[in-house]
Structure formats: C-alpha cells, structure tokens
Copies of this chain bind each other. A is one copy, B any other.
Amino acid sequence: MEIKNRFSISAKRMSRSVIRELLKLANKPDIISFAGGLPSPETFPSEDLLDITREVMQKSARVALQYGSTEGVLPLRDLLISFLGKYGFNIKPEELIITTASQQSLDLVAKIFIDRSDPIIVENPSYLGALSAFKTYGCRFLTVDMDEQGLCTDKLRLQLEELKRTAGEGSQYYQNMPKFIYTIPDFQNPTGITMSLARRKELLEIASEYDMIIVEDVPYRWLRYQGEEPPMLGAMDTEGRVVNLFTFSKILSPGMRLGWVRANPVIIDKIVQAKQATDLCTSPLTQKLAEEFIRRDLLEKRIAANIELYRHKQEAMMAALEKYMPKAKGLSWVKPEGGMFLWITLPPEMDADEMFKEAIDRKVAYVVGSAFYPNGGGHNTMRLNFSYPSEEDIDEGIQRLAGVVKSRL
C-alpha cells in the first residue's frame, strides 16, 4: 500500500542521520573509529550500580518500577539542585525537570518554541543532534561563526540588529526574532572551543538587549582536563533567560537515558506539558539508580576518575597527531581544555567528505566536519573522538589517518 503520501510535512523533512549511517560503516571490528561520541566503557560503574540496584529493589521497588511524575523523582531533583548549587546556581524545585537524556531536552525545547520557518541562532559549526532535533520542527538556521574565544558576539550583534529592524513590536517582535540562541560554551561539539568569560558576559548583555532566550547545552562541563572554568551562562544570568541542558550521559552512563533541564519556571512548566504527551515520565528505575549514585558521593569520584582517564587519551591523540601528521600549510588542530573531541582543519582545497571512503579502506573512521554546518561548508574539517578508543588504537588510528591525509597533500 502507498504510505509516503500520508506522512506529515515534518516526517517528509526527516531522513536517517548521515552520521548514523556512516557510523554503521565504522562499526566493523577491524576499523579504528574516531567517529562516535561514546564514553569509554571503562568509566561505567557497573559494580556500584549493581550494589545500588540491590538497595533500590529492596527499599523502593514500588517507586522505581511504577509510573512516576513527569517532573521527575523528587529526591533526585533535590540532589541535582544541591549539586548545581556548587556551581553558582540557586534553583527552586519548579525550575528543574528530569528528562529522558539531552536529546529529549533538545526535542522538548524545540517543540515548545519552534514553529515552521522560525529562525533560531546556532554556532557554526554546531552539534548535529541538536540541529536534527530543531530541524524536525522546520526552523531556519541563522549561523554565527566562532573563533578561539567561542561564539563571535560582534557578529551576533550585527545579525540581531539587522533582524530587529523588520521585527516589529510586542508579540510580533517575539514571533519574528530568533526563538533562541543555542550554544555549547564548554568544549564545544564539534570544535572543542570554550567560550571565554568576556564573551559569556557579552552574550548575556546582547541577549538582554535584544530580549533573547539562550539555550546553554552543558554536556561536557565535567570533563575539564586543564585551565580554569568560567561560570556557566545559566549561573551568571539574572533575568531568567538561560535554559540549561544537562546530561548524565558523559558522567555516569548514556545507557540510563537521563538528563535534566534548568530554566525559568514558565519554561519548565511548558516543558512538563510537552513531556506529558511525549513519554509521560522518565524511567523512575534509572532515576532511582542515579539518585542513590549521587547520594553515596560516587558521582564526584566518578567525574575525577573520568577526567584522569580522558586526559591521558587526549594527550595520546595529541602526541600521535604531532608524531604522524604531515606538516602542511593549512593543516591544524588545537588542544581543547576538555570534552571528547579534537577538531582538525585540513588545507582548504582538501575535502574530508570525499576522503572518508579512503579512510574506511585504510580502516580508520572520523566524522566529516561538514555534517555540523547547518547551512553548508566545512568540507575541509573533521571531528575525532578520543574518549572511546584505547590509547593503542589512538596511536595506530592516527597513523592510518595521517597516511590518508599525506597521500592527498
């Protein structure tokens, strides 16, 4: 029977993620893959979680295995409020909701704000999963370039000024201006860049001036290997205009599918309504596990151990790049202060998309940088993940990749 003609406009806009299809290629056992964004399985606290499961099944199976409230398990929300208290947040319970990990947070934020053809502002390049979540709702992407200090706030200001001219006033203004500015200030995905304190202040000032909402995605915050951490935008915000997306995926386990959103209560209330119709509630079972994990002070220990592990992996990748990559004009990378990725810029005449097949033939995989540019470009860039592969594979894989690059110089 004919089905395609029945699909919604939004469904017709969807496609299988290019990256996910590429990742399938990269999944063959003899390929060393720098393509994913997976945490290392060494970081999974399976014994602790088993021990915690014992306690949860004995003491609170009636909560853990039952339906829960859409807002999330109360003691977990309280613990997260305390946790964020250490980072300058002062959060009321109605400002926080547990979600089924950050991809759901991105989807819910998109759902409550984006109507078809609404503009939103993203860094160029930006996280692919966010771009797909937003695209489903038919937004237009307005991109703002980044430099080594993060989002170029001067360029942002110019764009907003231009938009303001024709935006109208009152409710018109809010419908015509970008619905929000999406940013990943810490160790940005894919570039690894951290937004400087000066830029953070300026971004908040601009947001205030043009009355904008900022969606601050904070997945890598607790993976800092060097340097001092600037405060989060959300912690600096005095006007309730920052929405923070947090996840357990990089600090505990992605398989538990847990994240949380902190925002203005009006926004949280609308997210609760959207989530009710979307998946009713996040798993109380995985929530209770996370709750007890935090209560036992295991989260901060886990974070410290992750940092130690990933710092070494990052250094291994930096060393391998130094060792194997040819010295060539236009070929460069920068050491990020944290996160899971290195961003490689190839000479402008090289094409990482086209090079991908050869890399696979040589048994090494990466993510083509162009996938992160919502409006095109970036064909001479690629993203390498260092959190998942072993140090041996990092050395061997970079050697293979350098071979591919050399052959094309």
* Minimum CB–CB distance for A52 against chain B, Å: 10
Contact between B174 and A254, CB atoms less than 8 A apart: no
Which residues of chain B have C-beta atoms less than 8 A from A44's C-beta?
61-62, 65-66
User: Using Cβ atoms and an 8 Å threshold, which residues of chain B touch A3?
Assistant: 213, 264, 266-267
Asked if residues B8 and A137 are in contact (CB atoms below 8 Å), the reply is yes
Q: Name A245-283 residues within 8 Å CB distance of B.
A: 249, 253-257, 264, 266-267, 269-270, 272-274, 276-283
A236 within 8 A of B: no
**A47 interface residue, CB < 8 Å from B?**
yes
- Residues in B with CB closer than 8 Å to A70 are 20
A82-123 residues with Cβ-Cβ distance < 8 A to B are 100-101, 103-104, 107, 111-115, 118
Interface centre among A14, A213, A264 (most CB of B within 10 A): A14
In the complex, which of the residues B5, B100, B253 contacts A285, with contact meaning CB atoms closer than 8 Å?
Answer: B253
Would you give the 0/1 interface string for A144-178, flagging 1 where the beta carbon is closer than 8 Å to chain B?
A: 00000000000000000000000000110011000
Q: Which of A128-136, A371-379, A400-408 contacts B (4 or more CB under 8 A)?
A: A128-136
Q: How many copies does the complex hold?
A: 2
Task: Count A-side interface residues using an 8 Å CB cutoff.
Answer: 90
Residues in B whose Cβ lies below 8 Å from that of A4? 266
User: What are 21 A-to-B residue pairs whose CB atoms are below 8 Å?
Assistant: A1-B264, A6-B213, A8-B112, A11-B111, A11-B273, A11-B274, A14-B273, A16-B273, A41-B65, A44-B65, A46-B58, A67-B254, A68-B255, A103-B277, A103-B279, A132-B277, A133-B278, A253-B285, A256-B285, A279-B279, A283-B283
Give the 9 A-B CB pairs with smallest separation, nearest first.
Answer: A46-B61, A65-B253, A65-B255, A11-B112, A44-B65, A14-B273, A5-B174, A103-B280, A46-B57
